[in-house]
Amino acid sequence: TRLSKHFHIGGNLLGRGKSTLRAVHDVSFEVAAGQTLGLVGESGCGKSTLGRAVLRLHEPTSGTVELDGRPVTGIDAKALHARRREMQIIFQDPYASLNPRRTILDTLMEPLDLHNIGAPSERRARVEKLIEIVGLRKQALSRYPHEFSGGQRQRIGIARALTLQPKFIVADEAVSALDVSVQAQVLNLIRELQDEFGIAFLFISHDLAVVQHISHQVGVMYLGQMVELAEAETLFAQPRHPYTRALMSAVPVPDPHTESQRIVLSGDVPSPLSPPSGCPFHTRCPDAMPRCKEQEPDNHNCGTPEQAHWVRCHLYAPEQVGLHNTQDARA
């Protein structure tokens, strides 16, 4: 069934941040085969932690992750090793993740050897095909990472992620280090590959324009929580959460006729290790109300049951929405 092709993530995921253990609270989302969920937010908001927790690169995980209807969490090491084939990651800096002393051929063969896939001659054939799929020539296989440009290296990183024919790929700032024109080429390549192979992507980026370009759904994160989640078009046309609005207002609008009011957030991002009480955004939110300090907001669906638009903010609580309506009616 179609549902079994979904990648489902839910619950509280624990992951190790740069130096400390960090939690991602209460997230729940699904990515369908061939679709991309973009994840945006400032650095330190937990995007990468979430991406790694989903792939089980971090331990422990208290939430649940399912791929194709089968759990990836709560399984033993052997089962996890087998399932790793289905989930891959592309990093921001492919150079750092490519061994400088190994040829591209060796690098691409490694996952196939590790998982003991096919006869050696078949492996070689698969790698030769892959390098062409990502837009490089076969000759590239005998070369070393330093002989390539940043964009080419990212293509190699993508080829490596594809060797095991994964169903799901986490791309963590995968184009952030590239020039804008090269970014566009790599993004287009990702889309083509996604269409061809039906891969689900979790696309993590601090760059809203990039996320808008590539995503079907978008999630916005703040201090380890997903504060808004909707279809990409809806989210960019009608951002609801005060944090999302502030993020978007910081992006220059190319059309001079469009009025854009820049929302400048006061204060620094609080430490994710001791997030503020109530709504974690209340210390910086231009719309904060007294209850925001005390009470953690629930997720509210501002969309329809079929096309959800989740917003974690008291402004969208049914009683609050009712209050607005009453006030409007009186005015």
Cβ(252)–Cβ(236) below 8 Å: no
Binding residue for ligand SF4, selected from 29, 148, 281, 310, defined by CB under 6 A: 281
When CB distances are held under 5 to 8 angstroms depending on the partner's kind, the choice from ligand SF4, Mg ion, none that residue 208 binds is none
- Ranges assigned E (strand) in 41-120: 64-67, 70-71, 87-90
Q: Number of residues in contact with ligand SF4, rule: CB under 6 A?
A: 13
Q: Is the peptide bond before 280 cis (omega within 30 degrees of 0)?
A: no
Cβ(159)–Cβ(151) below 8 Å: no
When CB distances are held under 5 to 8 angstroms depending on the partner's kind, the choice from ligand SF4, Mg ion, none that residue 287 binds is ligand SF4
Please provide the DSSP assignment of 225-254 as one string.
EEEEEEEHHHHHHS--SHHHHHHHHTSPPS
Stretch that binds Mg ion, among 2-10, 46-54, 103-111, 269-277 (CB under 5 A): 46-54
Least distance (Å) between residue 271 CB and Mg ion: 16
Least distance (Å) between residue 244 CB and ligand SF4: 9
User: Residues 289-328 vs ligand SF4: string with x where CB under 6 A?
Assistant: x--x----x---------------xxx-------------
Binding residue for ligand SF4, selected from 287, 321, 322, 325, defined by CB under 6 A: 287
Residue 282, CA distances (Å) to 217, 235, 303 in order: 25, 21, 24
The verdict on 48 binding Mg ion (CB under 5 A) reads: yes
Q: How far is the C-alpha of 229 from the C-alpha of 301, rounded, in Å? A: 9
Cβ nearer to Mg ion, comparing 48 with 194: 48
The verdict on 240 binding ligand SF4 (CB under 6 A) reads: no
The total of other beta-carbon atoms located within 10 Å of residue 147's CB is 12
When CB distances are held under 5 to 8 angstroms depending on the partner's kind, the choice from Mg ion, ligand SF4, none that residue 292 binds is ligand SF4
